[in-house]
Structure 1
Amino acid sequence: MGVGERIAEARSESGLTQAQLAAAVGLARSALAKVETGIRGVSALELVAIARELRRRVEWFVEPGPPAIVSYRASREGVATQAIDDALDKIVRDVDFVIREIPGLIQSQPDHESPPESMADAEELAARARSLLGLEPDEPALELSRRVTGVGLLPFAIPLGDGADAGTVLLRAGGVSVINGDLRVGRRRLALAHEFGHYLVADPYTTDWRVAATDADALEGRLDRFARALLIPEADLRSRWAEWTAAVDDTLRDVAVRAGSHYQVDMATLARRLTEVGMLDTTQANSIRAVQTKKADIVEKNLVIAHELEPISLPRPYEQAILKLYRHETVTADRACGLLLGTFDEEALPDRFPVSEAEIWTVMS
């Protein structure tokens, strides 16, 4: 894809007409039309102005990026928002660079699974995924962001505002998921569980506008079921729900609050899981969806407050790899801070390894 086609693509995603973009950057509409069709070239100054107006980095227009990002662009079918598009483009480029310098960043990758053909298949896939992550059959999937890095999926939580919940790109080895950090923690964890499903079945790229199941896309619905089953194992849910409901003073609301904290999920996810395993009727599930956990609940019930995937959140192995590159002077301080997405400043970086006198004389001779 040429520069002109990339400009047309970015303009379309920004919702601008040729006339609007041309006026904003000081070009005639006919000149911009020729640029987009490849009849006319674009100067460096014009491209900088266009990139600024479309809120893209200049390299997005001129560099195809690693094969993974090229595959993602080819398969996204127009569903990506600009925010998720930009975040994935930058992070995949960064991860590709780090992997080339430190191949051991991705230590293992599971064999690809067949996409689930039914909800029962989705439950079975969740059971296999639970084992893959080192979880017991009835153990809640806590610290999911840490566990998935062990099987090659690197999750990044970035503030993305309104729009897609998450997106995933497969690499030659492993993969990258970007989670919208502006979601609440339960939704962030659900989004990552859903993306982990896409990773396991080896979709080349996906962007989820919402994590709720839809009739329009059967695979998305089954991976939603996979995500809920991964986070809330049925056997544990049945056991603990019976224990909590046996408490004399606890209402259905109290039980739901305890369950949401225990599994670190939002109430909509909990209600959906309870109904799909036949533990609640629709009326009860709807009442749970309306529940909001209060500060008093946290104190009185001694609940655990989850902070997983708070933005900006980077995979620990990725952070360690970049610090290693900095220590060995493979990257500058500025480059290291950029790769770490601003979560470090120069003062927070480690001391570099001292250079011996013999090495200095070797360089100077």
Structure 2
Amino acid sequence: MVATDSGSMGRRIAQARGSAGLTQEELAKAVGIDRSALAKIENGTRRVSALELARIANTVGERIEWFVIEAPPAVVSHRNLSAPGTASPLIDRILERAAWNTEFILSHDDRLDLTSPATQPKPHTLNDAEEAAALARRTLGFDTTEPAFNLSSRFSDAGLLPFALDLGPDAADAAVMHLRQGGVAVVNGHLQVGRRRLAAVHELGHYLFAEDYSVDWQIGERDDDDMWEARVDRFARAFLLPSAGIQHHWNLLRPQHDLRTAAVKAASRFRVDMSTLARRLFELCLVSQGTAQQIRQFRTTRADIVELNLLVHDELAAPHLARAYEEAVVRLYRQETISISRATDLLFGTWNEDDFPGLPNLPESAVRNLV
């Protein structure tokens, strides 16, 4: 939907300028207008011309449609373990762009199916979170013991398109947005693979529960039942480390190996980070708190990979786009619904023009009609 309201556009311009770290004076100079004119644009008392808007977009590093098209109606959640509650404008911008792109594709491609599964009840206790994880695993086609691999394709089957892009160390871990049909999730590809997977499943929880994000400053500190984000994190751990699976595997490993080797093998099998493994083993009463603290300090080395014959799979490595999403973009390009430049833009610049298939030449009659 086009946003024609001057006030709304002005607020977006002010927001983009702030995110770019520019003063009104600096942006006005770059655009070629007086600071007072920019101030009026931002407060909605002066309309911005198309040329001025193009210059503003170029200066602040935004796309023009970000200013003129309303974002899809959505519920947004973030996961930021390192700094809970802090703003993350970069991931918000990428998430909004992914939502716009997906809505565009859905309106032009009837083969992209984002049929969402039935919304799961919101877990009110940690036991509820465990049951919700078991239900989610069944919904996505996992049994009660196996590791959860190929998250991207499984998420897509559930109507949630994942995008993993390197957003740097200061952005949130992940975010999710519900769309009119399905949803999109952005994972910060700067994270290590175990933390990427945990963040992605955390957002899957928000997607399935269809809940607003609530800031929880104690996440990672306590597991009280009244803490919503702690329950979503419990859901994520139970999804990646199902109780029956990790208990069986740990009970096989521990008698055969020292603590470190057992932890490295278990973390590798289920593709989780040591912190997540330690937390899960402790909450399932498989290790003491002191042992869990020891496990948190372990790190998997290259020597471990070689000597223990570990399988390495860098899941959701940046840049990563959902395969179903990429296929839809290629279909639109082949149908000549979109140009090659539009296709590369929809693919977040992760494809070069040489990556696209050649298109057949138009027949002579079509050329004459076009002319």
Q: Give the TM-score range, shorter chain.
A: 0.7 to 0.9
Aligned length: 356
In structure 2, the CA distance between the partners of 1:213 and 1:179, relative to structure 1 (3 Å rule), is farther
In structure 2, the CA distance between the partners of 1:341 and 1:361, relative to structure 1 (3 Å rule), is closer
Q: For each residue in 1:91-146, what CA deviation from the matched residue of structure 2 results, as whole angstroms up to 9, or x when unmatched?
A: 11111111111133125321111211111110000000010011111111111111
The one-letter amino acid paired with 2:336 is E
> Are 2:280 and 1:307 equivalent residues in the alignment?
no
Query: How is 1:16-35 mapped onto 2 (pairs within 5 angstroms)?
Result: 18=24, 30-35=36-41
Query: How is 1:186-225 mapped onto 2 (pairs within 5 angstroms)?
Result: 186-203=194-211, 212=220, 218-225=227-234
What is residue 241 of structure 1 aligned with on the other side? 250
Gaps of 5+ in 2: 1-6, 78-84
Gaps of 5+ in 1: none
Say which SS state the counterpart of residue 156 (structure 1) adopts: strand
TM-score, structure 2 as length reference: 0.86
The one-letter amino acid paired with 2:230 is G
Q: Distance in 2 between the 1:215 and 1:50 partners?
A: 46
In structure 2, the CA distance between the partners of 1:207 and 1:19, relative to structure 1 (3 Å rule), is farther
Q: Distance in 2 between the 1:148 and 1:104 partners?
A: 17
Q: Distance in 1 between the 2:353 and 2:215 partners?
A: 34
The one-letter amino acid paired with 2:189 is G
Q: Which moved more, 1:183-192 or 1:36-45?
A: 36-45
Q: Distance in 2 between the 1:33 and 1:364 partners?
A: 46
> Are 2:125 and 1:148 equivalent residues in the alignment?
no
What is residue 270 of structure 1 aligned with on the other side? 277
In structure 2, the CA distance between the partners of 1:344 and 1:30, relative to structure 1 (3 Å rule), is closer
Q: Distance in 2 between the 1:52 and 1:325 partners?
A: 27
TM-score, structure 1 as length reference: 0.87
CA RMSD of aligned residues (A): 3.1
What is residue 80 of structure 2 aligned with on the other side? none
Q: Distance in 1 between the 2:10 and 2:355 partners?
A: 41
Query: Per-residue deviation at 1:63?
Result: 2.1
Q: For each residue in 1:3-49, what CA deviation from the matched residue of structure 2 results, as whole angstroms up to 9, or x when unmatched?
A: 11112333444566656656776766544433222123334454445
Q: For each residue in 1:156-177, what CA deviation from the matched residue of structure 2 results, as whole angstroms up to 9, or x when unmatched?
A: 1011112211111111111000
> Are 2:267 and 1:260 equivalent residues in the alignment?
yes
What is residue 9 of structure 1 aligned with on the other side? 15
In structure 2, the CA distance between the partners of 1:55 and 1:347, relative to structure 1 (3 Å rule), is closer
Q: Distance in 2 between the 1:25 and 1:214 partners?
A: 50
Query: How is 1:16-165 mapped onto 2 (pairs within 5 angstroms)?
Result: 18=24, 30-68=36-74, 80-161=87-168, 162-165=170-173
Report if the CA contact (8 A) 1:167-1:195 is conserved: yes
Say which SS state the counterpart of residue 111 (structure 2) adopts: helix
Question: Percent identity, aligned pairs only?
Answer: 46
Say which SS state the counterpart of residue 236 (structure 2) adopts: helix
Report if the CA contact (8 A) 2:76-2:175 is conserved: no
